[in-house]
Amino acid sequence: MQESKIYQEKLFNSFQLSNRVPKDNFYRRLSEVLDLEFLHKKTKVYYGSCGQKSINPVVFFKFCLVGYLENIISDRKLISHCSMRMDLLYFLGYDIDEELPWHSTISRTRQLYPESVFESLFSHVFKMCVTNRMVSGHTQAIDSAPVKINTSMDSLELKVPEEDLSAHLLKLRHISDRDKPEVIRRAKTNKAAKSQQILSANTHELQAIKSRNKKWSTDQNHRPRAGNKGSRYTSNKTHYSPTDPDARISVKPGKARKLNYQSQLTVDIAHHVISDIKAYHADAKDNQQLSDIILRVQRRL
Residue 38 sits in which domain range?
Answer: 17-131
Residues 88 and 24 in one domain: yes
Does residue 1 form part of some domain?
no
- Portion of the chain with pLDDT greater than 90, in percent: 43
Does residue 261 form part of some domain?
no
Most confident of the following: 72-86, 169-183, 214-228, 249-263 = 72-86
Residues 165 and 85 in one domain: no
pLDDT for the residue numbered 52 = 83
Does residue 166 form part of some domain?
yes
Q: Tell me if 261 sits within 8 A of 117, measured CB to CB.
A: no
Does residue 30 form part of some domain?
yes
pLDDT for the residue numbered 204 = 66
Mean pLDDT within 14-22 = 87
Q: What is the mean pLDDT of the chain?
A: 82
Residues 61 and 109 in one domain: yes
Question: Of 246, 276, 293, which closes a domain?
Answer: 246
Question: Of 246, 277, 293, which closes a domain?
Answer: 246
Residues 94 and 170 in one domain: no
Residues 107 and 39 in one domain: yes
Does residue 175 form part of some domain?
yes
Number of domains observed in the structure of the chain:
2
Rounded Cα gap, residues 21 and 43, in angstroms: 31
Q: Which helix (H) or strand (E) holds 292?
A: helix 286-300
Does residue 272 form part of some domain?
no
Residues 32 and 69 in one domain: yes
Question: Of 204, 228, 246, which closes a domain?
Answer: 246
Return the closest-CA partner of residue 259 out of 288, 283, 225: 283
Residues 23 and 97 in one domain: yes
pLDDT for the residue numbered 216 = 57
Residues 185 and 229 in one domain: yes
Does residue 12 form part of some domain?
no
Give tens-digit pLDDT for 101-157.
999 999 999 999 999 999 999 999 999 999 999 999 899 999 999 988 888 888 888
Q: How many CA atoms lie within 13 A of 152 on its CB side?
A: 9
Residues 93 and 165 in one domain: no
Residues 98 and 32 in one domain: yes
Return the closest-CA partner of residue 137 out of 15, 287, 286, 273: 273
Rounded Cα gap, residues 287 and 272, in angstroms: 23
Is pLDDT larger for residue 115 or for residue 8?
115
pLDDT for the residue numbered 141 = 95
Does residue 279 form part of some domain?
no
Rounded Cα gap, residues 53 and 277, in angstroms: 32
Give tens-digit pLDDT for 161-199.
665 555 555 555 545 555 555 555 666 666 676 666 666
